Amino acid sequence: MRLSQFHLATIKETPADAEIVSHQLMLRAGMIRKLGAGIYTWSPLGLRVLQKVAAIVREEMNRAGALELLMPSVQPRELWDETERWQKFGGQLLKIKDRKQQEYCYGPTHEEVITDFARHELNSYKQLPVTFYQIQTKFRDEIRPRFGVMRAREFLMKDAYSFHLDADSMAAEYSNMYSAYTRIFNRLGLRFRAVQADTGAIGGNASHEFHVLADSGEDAIAFSTGSDYAANIELAEAVAPAQARAAASATLTRVATPHQKSIDEVAGFLKVAAEQCVKTMILRGRDGLVALCVRGDHEINEVKAQKLALLAGEFELASEAEIASVIGCAPGSIGPVGLPASVPVIVDRAAAALADFVCGGNQDDSHYCGANWDRDARVSEITDIRKVVAGDPSPDGNGEIRIARGIEVGHVFQLGQNYARAMDATVLDESGQKRVLYMGCYGIGVSRIVAASIEQNFDAAGIIWPDAIAPWRVAICVINPKHDAAVAAAAEALYADLNAGGIEAVLDDRGLRLGQMFADIELIGIPHRVVVSERGLAAGTFEYRSRRASESEAISRQQVFERLA
């Protein structure tokens, strides 16, 4: 490509509404342009990168034996009624009506469509196992689209679905896909980690998310310093403290704590550590109010709370009015001592190990000191309901937990038989028996990867693409092409020979001043640059510079090819 014939549209200023570096640089490089909230046009430059990412994903999926197909993005409501997800999927589902008032959605994912395909196409165990995939545009009406293509509403996903006769076969393909993902993210040059993930409402057997490590990541990942244990923070288990609870030694005393509501305020006022306080939250589940107690320095984990039988997956914070009428105080003064018998008390393992603790007094502006479980406060259940924090012991017994930020770029999931059962997708086995299919699903956020890669590869001048996904691997910059025919001819020849040799080169023949030319080439992240100048030609050299290097080197034409080979 000659840049004089390309649509390059870089911007000097950092756009004010772009919060993270990848969003800023994608806009400045002119890779994407916003059409509406969470909806973007990929410019010719941006599309080159997006297609390179997609090509690597496609190659590795094919290598892993998956078969590419293409499903429609508009999906009839009836399929979603079969799995009851028309309602359950919630506000993210973009619902559409056609002229006959028939209802459809724009696909946020394709389990329904692929299971429909499978129930028609697959009849015999002999056709199994089989894995289908597609690379396609999805739409999810995200509550907060942000960070450009990182959390968009319309985005490009690779989604794959596998079908099996039994759980063992499903597990084998899961590990095949896990390896394929590892190859994909390695080829993309990403620093990533596979983490155990929550299987959520779908409730499959096993699930891993692949996270690119970056401070701007929306997810928190817990990993161990002493093993390869890594889990989404929502899932990471907070184990019981090694030390058993000490015997009660203090007497229960009510103290006045005027205007002290938060744990920090109360702990500061009473001059005790937050670790010696119990924090109580009242939730309303399906069958009434439930109290959750964690240590003052810990936070309740909503995903773990959702799994409590007493809350049965459906809960919200109890309202202040409800708390006032049942307990008799404001939320800042609740505690487990003397709660009405109708309110079960679920205590986190770390909070349960406290003796002589401070907690709310269930009267406004009042707390208890010297409180003890069993003696003063009823315990309905002791279980893990908190978020892990740095320094917790790793649940596998090796090392300590650390917390890092991650961007979820992929997800592998053993779905089991949930979809196949709901949609009656069966095959006949060897003995002619009807068997419900087992399924796995495997997603990759193709467009999100472009942004995630930038989050790991940039400097003050702009993007630094890994060679594998750069729009072009090398830029040839020509000084004064219009006035110097020899220089222009040498640059043209180098450009032609590099491309002929399979090294994707772009020729900057726009005739810009050197500084402007370099600024563009650096901003758009071309990993290698060669300058052709009159002085160089006279000396028989080209000025080569890697995007990550601080100095250029004068090298021969032969060496240019060797560097880029």
Residues of this chain that bind Mg ion (CB under 5 A): 411
CB nearer Mg ion, residue 46 or residue 406: 406
Q: Which does 157 bind (CB under 5 to 8 A by kind): ligand ATP, Mg ion, none?
A: ligand ATP
* Smallest distance from ligand ATP to CB 458, Å: 19
Residues 307, 371: Cα–Cα separation, whole Å: 28
* Smallest distance from Mg ion to CB 61, Å: 18
The residue to which tokens 């929306």 are assigned: 218
CB nearer Mg ion, residue 110 or residue 545: 110
Q: Which does 349 bind (CB under 5 to 8 A by kind): Mg ion, ligand ATP, none?
A: none
E-strand spans in 250-287? 253-256, 278-285
Q: Which does 351 bind (CB under 5 to 8 A by kind): ligand ATP, Mg ion, none?
A: none
Is 497 in contact with 436 (CB distance < 8 Å)? no
* Smallest distance from ligand ATP to CB 137, Å: 11
Q: Which does 409 bind (CB under 5 to 8 A by kind): ligand ATP, Mg ion, none?
A: ligand ATP
Instruction: List, in order, residues 6 or more apart from 161 with CB less than 8 Å away.
Output: 110, 111, 114, 115, 118, 131, 132, 133, 439, 440, 441, 442
Is 136 in contact with 70 (CB distance < 8 Å)? yes
Is 394 in contact with 402 (CB distance < 8 Å)? no
CB nearer Mg ion, residue 151 or residue 279: 151
Q: Which of 41, 358, 313 is nearest to 200 (CA)?
A: 313
* Smallest distance from Mg ion to CB 223, Å: 18
Q: Which does 445 bind (CB under 5 to 8 A by kind): Mg ion, ligand ATP, none?
A: ligand ATP
Residues 173, 414: Cα–Cα separation, whole Å: 9
CB nearer ligand ATP, residue 411 or residue 529: 411
Q: At what angle do helices 167-187 and 44-63 cross, to 10 degrees?
A: 140
* Smallest distance from ligand ATP to CB 138, Å: 7
Angstrom CA distances, 337 to 158, 251, 370, 538, stand at 52, 13, 11, 89
CB nearer ligand ATP, residue 62 or residue 137: 137
* Smallest distance from ligand ATP to CB 109, Å: 6
Q: Which does 371 bind (CB under 5 to 8 A by kind): Mg ion, ligand ATP, none?
A: none
Whole-number CA gyration radius for the chain: 30
Q: Which does 410 bind (CB under 5 to 8 A by kind): ligand ATP, Mg ion, none?
A: ligand ATP
The 3-state DSSP composition of the chain as helix, strand, coil percent (nearest 5) reads: 30, 30, 40
Q: Which does 367 bind (CB under 5 to 8 A by kind): Mg ion, ligand ATP, none?
A: none
Report which residue type is found at 15: P
Taking residue 332's Cβ as centre, other Cβ atoms within 10 Å add up to 17
* Smallest distance from Mg ion to CB 343, Å: 34
Report which residue type is found at 103: E
Q: Which residue is nearest to ligand ATP (CB)?
A: 445
Q: Which does 142 bind (CB under 5 to 8 A by kind): ligand ATP, Mg ion, none?
A: ligand ATP
Q: Which does 304 bind (CB under 5 to 8 A by kind): ligand ATP, Mg ion, none?
A: none
Q: Which does 435 bind (CB under 5 to 8 A by kind): Mg ion, ligand ATP, none?
A: none
**Pairing mode, strands 474-478 and 505-508:** parallel
Is 274 in contact with 260 (CB distance < 8 Å)? no
Work out the end-to-end distance of the chain between its first and last CA atoms, rounded to an integer number of angstroms.
19
CB nearer Mg ion, residue 164 or residue 411: 411
CB nearer Mg ion, residue 48 or residue 411: 411
* Smallest distance from ligand ATP to CB 202, Å: 10
- Helix, strand or coil, per DSSP, at residue 59: helix
**Pairing mode, strands 130-139 and 67-68:** parallel
Residues 331, 324: Cα–Cα separation, whole Å: 8
CB nearer ligand ATP, residue 173 or residue 408: 408
CB nearer Mg ion, residue 298 or residue 411: 411
Is 452 in contact with 482 (CB distance < 8 Å)? no
* Smallest distance from ligand ATP to CB 142, Å: 5
CB nearer ligand ATP, residue 419 or residue 472: 419
CA 184 to chain centre: 16
* Smallest distance from Mg ion to CB 441, Å: 10
Cis status, amide bond into 129, omega within 30 of 0? yes
Q: Which helix (H) or strand (E) holds 494?
A: helix 485-500
CB nearer ligand ATP, residue 31 or residue 291: 31
* Smallest distance from Mg ion to CB 443, Å: 7
Q: Which of 528, 474, 527, 465 is nearest to 501 (CA)?
A: 474
Q: Which does 129 bind (CB under 5 to 8 A by kind): ligand ATP, Mg ion, none?
A: none
CB nearer ligand ATP, residue 46 or residue 410: 410
Phi, psi (deg, nearest 5) at residue 187: -65, -35
Q: Which residue is nearest to Mg ion (CB)?
A: 411
* Smallest distance from Mg ion to CB 110, Å: 14
Q: Which residues bind ligand ATP (CB under 6 A)?
A: 109, 140, 142, 151-152, 155, 157, 408-411, 443, 445, 447-448
